[in-house]
Amino acid sequence: MASSKLEALVSRARLVEVRDFWFEHLTGPDDLILFKQEHGKRWFFGGQELDRACVERFGPALEAIRDSGVRSGADMLAVARPQDPSEWLGLVLLLDQMPRNCYRGDAAAVAFTIFDPIARGVALAAMQRGVPDEEPATRWRFAYRQWFYLPLMHSEDVATHEVAEQAYERMRRDVSALIDGGDAAPDGSAVGGEDRARAAAVVRANADDARKLVDMQILFEKKHFDIIKRFGRYPHRNKVLGRTSTPEEVEYLENGGETFSQPPADAGDKK
């Protein structure tokens, strides 16, 4: 049974705090619909400053989860109990992104082995409930929506990547529908009210940027999936996970293979 301490550290208010922290550098509500390339720098290249902030504010919650024995999305949802899209988003960010900023170097194994499976389970549960793809507050705010798919991209499971491909394709169809106009979404659902109307105005005014953004995300998923299809895992994780790299994996990493910001030294032991 979850402790009251853990429940307090992943309370609904705390989940909203995670969300607000993650997007605090955006300059206005329209950036949540279509964020700019410069906004992504903080998320993916925030450096030690972002790491320190994540550790200070959310490290205790991660450590409490780690010590609690929670190891699945279902276990986590029994504790956190998110209700609205902002809380679901905050929980996904807490489990998928915060560990990548709080556990660096050899400690990255904690993110890969403990938090990634939990994050993936929560993200899939959110998708089953339609949180990213049907709720107007997330569906038409692509800066929010994208984060629900990252736990799937981080997986080393082929079937999970197939789900991710479908999710990104749905997002591309939504972007195209906003650009092209029309009174219904691609799936035939209702327009979506004010959220969709505002998203349409922003996306149509920046159509090229919108297409580039979603195409970039689809390409990034493809790069990840191609590695999984080829190796069945991410070779750049081998060292921190104590896995022995195959000769093919060693050659891949030594010749510029993708490490997704992790140093090539993560090739691990050579056979």
Q: Using a pLDDT cut of 90, give the percent of the chain over it.
A: 89
40: domain range?
Answer: 4-232
Please state the domain count of the chain.
1
Q: For 21-34, what is the mean pLDDT?
A: 97
pLDDT attached to residue 4: 86
Asked if the structure places residue 180 within a domain, the reply is yes
- Is pLDDT of 264 > 60? no
Q: For 28-34, what is the mean pLDDT?
A: 97
Give per-residue pLDDT as tens, 184-235.
Answer: 555 555 556 999 999 999 999 999 999 999 999 999 999 999 999 999 999 9
Asked if the structure places residue 264 within a domain, the reply is no
Asked if the structure places residue 195 within a domain, the reply is yes
Q: For 145-152, what is the mean pLDDT?
A: 99
Asked if the structure places residue 269 within a domain, the reply is no
Which residue, among 217, 193, 158, has the nearest Cα to 35 in the 3D structure? 217
Which residue, among 255, 253, 252, has the nearest Cα to 264 in the 3D structure? 253
Write out the two tokens for 217.
């995300």
Residues 29-33: contacts with CB under 8 Å, at least 24 apart: 30/198, 30/202, 31/143, 32/141, 32/142, 32/143, 32/144, 33/140, 33/141, 33/142, 33/143, 33/198, 33/199, 33/202, 33/203
pLDDT attached to residue 190: 52
Asked if the structure places residue 248 within a domain, the reply is no
Asked if the structure places residue 254 within a domain, the reply is no
pLDDT attached to residue 186: 56
What is the sign, positive or negative, of the torsion defined by CA atoms of 26, 214, 201, 17? negative
pLDDT attached to residue 96: 99
Binned at pLDDT 50, 70 and 90, residue 159 comes out as very high
Stronger pLDDT, 182 or 52, i.e. the higher one = 52
pLDDT attached to residue 2: 61
Write out the two tokens for 63.
């450590």
Mean of all residue pLDDT scores within the chain: 93
Give per-residue pLDDT as tens, 85-114.
Answer: 999 999 999 999 999 999 999 999 999 999
Write out the two tokens for 146.
């994208």
- Is pLDDT of 270 > 80? no
Binned at pLDDT 50, 70 and 90, residue 246 comes out as very high
The pTM for the full model equals 0.93
